[in-house]
Amino acid sequence: MKWTLRKGKKRDLFQYTQRKLTVTYTWLIILFLALFSVIVSIFFIFMGYREQSNSLRATMYATQDGRVVIPDLENSTSDDLYFFYVLDKSGQVLAQSKAIPELGDRNLAQIEKWRPDGDSFRLRWQPEQEQRYGELMIRTGDRLLFIGAHRIMTTNGAATIYAAKDVTFYWDILRNLLIVFMMILIVFIIAAVKLSSSMSKKAMVPIQQSFKQQQQFLADASHELRTPLSIMNTSLDVIELENGDTITPYSKEVVADMKEEIGRMTRMVQHLLLLARSDAGSVEFEMGAFDIVPKLRQWVLAFEGVAQKKAITLRKMLPDTLTVKGDPEKLKQLVYILLDNAIKYTPEGGKVDVGLDPNPRQWRIIVRDSGIGIAEADQPRIFDRFYRVEKHRSREEGSAGLGLAIAKQIVIAHRGSVVLESMPGKGSTFSVEFPA
């Protein structure tokens, strides 16, 4: 199983959260405006539909002495009603009236084969047209017709009344309304981004203050704890020197345990102080070019004694020379953390390999062990602070779960990445990649 800690700059949690809040607030404001626009548009369409359908019904239902009233559209001053037809069931025209007589064929094409059972309405678009009738030129623009149909009974059988109104005016209003909404939306997006950014900044202020106070407390507490721990360790050394001959074996064991615990606490305090300074951005990295091969040999040599106690074979696979750019002390700390974990979680008689890959584009430090491995579910979390895969065993080993968190900070500062390959019972391989 592979898991990768991506390379790149350290992500500012507060800036990331602020951006997320800004995007969320912006989308909420835009969503409310969009919903308002949709509601207003639907309301306008509904009101227009109800008004025009009632108007058409009044026209189609109009009778006088039991006969259908045929409106005179040719001589009418009204521009609303566009045509009026009465057709029998075979489609023959029984009566008609048209605002533009020359466009009768186009009008009939709109209602051809439309024979509804009851009252029905529909919209039809008439595209722009220019047509000559003798010396007369008929030019019509785009029109949106709202057509209604009404079944009636005549002495010759069933017939259908068709009436149409020109609702292009309403379409123009709706289109202009949508354009206005779009312009308002653009303005609101700009305003929403600024407003959301301001709101998110204000929301993050108390959280940032609380976090800074915690950072400062952690740094101060870690710094203050170093002195009493050093004094305690020195005092135990003095006790051993002055009472070396008279101290009982039990007391010696107690003193040794106390020194071990003080050492563990000192390391934990140092790690906490380093992480607190890293969070505050006050950790300085002295970057420079150097040959890492001889230094890596020395770093590995420091662990040979620990490895021999567990009969672990510690092998080095290094090139003759490799010049890299980085902070030697921080890279040393990184290698120490990886080797310490590899030896700690490798059983007796196992193997730990340390290698360098001098790739021209990126170089790598590789630490491979034949230890207990890491479960797939735990792999994404091993770089979290205070996270321990085997909590009981880690506590016995004196681990606080801060080593890999510090290694993560070092890798990020060098713009590197970590690739982990591990399976339970088959060991782990940490491959730390750095840009050349």
Model pLDDT, residue 284 = 65
Least confident of 26-30, 287-291, 352-356: 26-30
Instruction: Work out the average pLDDT over 245-273.
Output: 72
Q: Cα torsion at 314, 400, 414, 322 (round to 10°)?
A: -10
Q: How confident is the model at residue 352 (pLDDT cuts 50, 70, 90)?
A: very high
Helices and strands counted in the chain (H then E) = 9, 17
Least confident of 103-117, 212-226, 327-341, 372-386: 212-226
**Residues 260-307: tens digit of each pLDDT:** 777 767 766 666 666 666 665 556 677 888 898 999 999 988 888 888
**Residues 106-161: tens digit of each pLDDT:** 788 878 778 888 888 888 887 766 665 556 555 666 788 888 899 888 877 888 88
Model pLDDT, residue 270 = 66
Model pLDDT, residue 360 = 74
Identify the CATH number of the domain defined by range 284-436: 3.30.565.10
Model pLDDT, residue 392 = 44
pLDDT of 250 above 70: yes
pLDDT of 45 above 50: yes
Domain 76-166 class in CATH: alpha beta
Q: How confident is the model at residue 99 (pLDDT cuts 50, 70, 90)?
A: confident
pLDDT top residue among 63 and 13: 63
SS in 3 state form for 38-62? Answer: HHHHHHHHHHHHHHHHHHHHHHHHC
Structure tokens at 61: 């239902």
**Distance separating alpha carbons of residues 93 and 87, to the nearest angstrom:** 5
Model pLDDT, residue 212 = 65
Q: How confident is the model at residue 393 (pLDDT cuts 50, 70, 90)?
A: very low
Model pLDDT, residue 240 = 72
Instruction: Work out the average pLDDT over 177-198.
Output: 81
pLDDT top residue among 209 and 361: 361
Structure tokens at 254: 């107690």
CB < 8 Å & 24+ apart, contacts of 245-251: none
| DSSP calls for 310-326 | TT-EEEEE--S--EEEE
Structure tokens at 15: 């800036």
User: Domain ranges in the chain?
Assistant: 76-166, 284-436
3-class secondary structure, 23: helix
Matching fold, domains 76-166 and 284-436: no
**Distance separating alpha carbons of residues 151 and 88, to the nearest angstrom:** 10
Model pLDDT, residue 394 = 46
Structure tokens at 12: 């500012």
3-class secondary structure, 10: coil
pLDDT top residue among 301 and 360: 301
Cβ atoms of residues 312 and 348 within 8 Å: yes
Q: Which residue has the tokens 């220019």?
A: 130
- How does the average pLDDT of the chain come out, rounded? 78
Decide the pairing of beta strands 351-358 and 313-317. Answer: parallel
| Percent of the chain predicted with pLDDT > 70 | 78
pLDDT of 356 above 70: yes
pTM of the model: 0.51
**Distance separating alpha carbons of residues 110 and 225, to the nearest angstrom:** 91
Strand residue runs (E) in 223-280: none
Buried b (16+ CB within 10 A) or exposed e, 57-77: eebbeeeeeeebebbebeeee
**Residues 293-342: tens digit of each pLDDT:** 999 999 988 888 888 888 898 898 888 888 888 888 889 888 988 998 88
